[in-house]
Amino acid sequence: MTMPDWLASLHNQLGPAGLLTNPANVEPYAIDWRRLFPGKPLAVARPANTGEVSAIVKLCHAHGVAIVPQGGNTGMAGGAVPDASGGELVLSLSRMNTIRSIDPVGMTLEAEAGVILKTAQDAAAHVGRLLPISLAAEGSAMIGGIVSTNAGGLNVLRYGMTRALVLGLEVVLADGTVVNGLRHLRKDNAGYDWKQLFIGSEGTLGITTAAVLRLLPQPKDSVTALLSVPNPQAALDLLACLQNTLGDSITACELMAGFSLDLVEKHFSFSRPIADGEWFVLIEAASTLSGLREAAETALGDALEQGFALDGTVAESGRQATELWQWRERITESEAKEGKSVKHDVSVPIPQIPAFLVAADEALARLQPGTRVNCFGHLGDGNLHYNVLITDHHPDAVNAVVHDVVQRFGGSISAEHGIGQYRVAELARRRAPEEQALARRIKMALDPDDLMNPGKVLPRHLQDVS
């Protein structure tokens, strides 16, 4: 099949490494991590710099071609893959992988969108600083994807979501205009803080080409413990009890059902460091000051004495801490190996977690008794991954049942993964009309032709919606 003229001219401009058209080469970019949303890219553009991104976007704008930005393609909502029409261009940021600067005094790191999160973390650590964004996909997820999904992860309890760590952004707008807001400033109230619109917008408003991230001092000491708890309420009591003593040195507090650990044991053959139980909590504290370990061990002893935890193990070395974290970080892969699942990335007000779990379990049992739920997540953020292993029911029916309960508890149907294409209909069904209308006005202002990742976050053809 011959290329349209505009694509041929793009090919000349970007060179063979910059534009992939061969079906075998574009195939890896066509489907999401969960393999739920197979698409068909028109081609894959791989720009080497911001100027090339701008040139691609200008050309697409002129020819009415939709663009799907893609980073590490680890997203959980099908946001980074094109539809099946064969008409959407995937724009991969993977060749834009330069860390432009690290400033240990001003504590900032400026990175292009295609820098892998782990590479950025390591670069910060190399100068004694911490980039605290951390998630199990950090070996593949890229800064542009992290920013564009406003990723959460394992350290939100102490450091906040990605949004809290972004100081500056460079973006390419839907008409190809480059907007450089790469300021390394802690305080900047000069006009609208427009970068906030792009953070978490999942590529629907423009393309993030680089970001300035905030760094922190690297902790000198950390303590990691895995505890079994009798129930989710005890897990919350445990967290509160530890916070009373350890304050905000607690960086992570992750809840895992016994079933989640069973899955990891089954699919990775790890041997359990702790007796079997119904629920587990993985907790980590970190400090730049000395004395953390003694304080943490005393606090954990008190929590055990008060019955908030039944059993526990504290990592004695960095290697043991990594091993404990494997129980948490391997859950997603274990679930995928187990088979298909219907994922829910929900949040509810933190004190409501135990009641939410009871209500969700009851509602699911009414739909189908005996359904297996892989429930784990970021307890300290009120964010649970309440994943239902495949049932006889259509995923939409399962979503509806769980999200009805979430809504009753005043929660969110997407705490950290975003909407992508997976949750578009659910969001449209559940968001107040005024909020939806406001979102459409923002989209129409920045991307009136609906060419930036159409059909993600918002339904397609906004022009047709009154």
Rule CB under 6 A: which residues touch ligand FAD?
A: 33, 68-76, 79-80, 93, 113, 135-137, 141-142, 144-146, 148-149, 151-153, 202-203, 207-208, 332, 416-417, 420, 453, 456
Q: Would you tell me how many other CB atoms lie within 10 Å of the CB of residue 294?
A: 10
Q: For residue 34, which phi and psi values (nearest 5 degrees)?
A: -85, -5
Contact with ligand 2HG (CB under 6 A): which of 61, 129, 214, 343?
A: 343
With CB under 5 to 8 Å by kind, the binding choice for 251 among ligand FAD, ligand 2HG, none is: none
Q: How far apart are CA 370 and CA 28, in angstroms?
A: 37
Closer residue to ligand 2HG, CB minimum distance, 73 or 287: 73
- With vertex at residue 205, the alpha carbon angle to CA 56 and CA 180, rounded to the nearest 5 degrees, is 70
With CB under 5 to 8 Å by kind, the binding choice for 385 among ligand 2HG, ligand FAD, none is: ligand 2HG
The answer to whether 194 touches 180, Cβ cutoff 8 Å, is no
Closer residue to ligand 2HG, CB minimum distance, 77 or 213: 77
The total number of residues shown for the chain amounts to 466
Closer residue to ligand FAD, CB minimum distance, 113 or 256: 113
- Residue 382 CB, shortest distance to ligand 2HG, in Å, is 13
With CB under 5 to 8 Å by kind, the binding choice for 151 among ligand 2HG, ligand FAD, none is: ligand FAD
Task: Give the CB-nearest residue to ligand FAD.
Answer: 145
> What is the pattern of x (binds ligand 2HG, CB under 6 A) and - over residues 126-165?
----------x-----------------------------
- Residue 171 CB, shortest distance to ligand FAD, in Å, is 8
Binding residues with ligand 2HG: total (CB under 6 A): 6
Closer residue to ligand 2HG, CB minimum distance, 59 or 142: 142
Distance of CA 119 to the CA centre of its chain: 17
Site for ligand 2HG in 359-398 (CB under 6 A): 377, 385, 387
The answer to whether 251 touches 376, Cβ cutoff 8 Å, is no
Name which of 136, 145, 90 is nearest 116 in CA terms. Answer: 145
Closer residue to ligand 2HG, CB minimum distance, 171 or 388: 388
Count how many Cα atoms sit within 13 Å of the Cα of residue 274 in the half-sphere of its side chain: 25
> What is the pattern of x (binds ligand 2HG, CB under 6 A) and - over residues 320-339?
------------x-------
With CB under 5 to 8 Å by kind, the binding choice for 453 among ligand 2HG, ligand FAD, none is: ligand FAD
Instruction: Return the biggest CA–CA distance within the chain.
Output: 74
The answer to whether 427 touches 202, Cβ cutoff 8 Å, is no
Name which of 306, 234, 224, 331 is nearest 273 in CA terms. Answer: 224
The answer to whether 413 touches 406, Cβ cutoff 8 Å, is yes
Name the burial class of residue 105, with classes exposed (0-12), middle (13-18) and buried (19+) by CB atoms within 10 angstroms of its CB.
exposed
- Residue 34 CB, shortest distance to ligand FAD, in Å, is 8
Residue 75 one-letter amino acid: G
Would you put residue 150 in left (φ > 0), alpha (ψ -120 to 50) or beta?
A: left
Closer residue to ligand 2HG, CB minimum distance, 287 or 371: 371
Q: How far apart are CA 331 and CA 322, in angstroms?
A: 14
Which residue ranges make up the site for ligand 2HG (CB under 6 A)? 136, 332, 343, 377, 385, 387
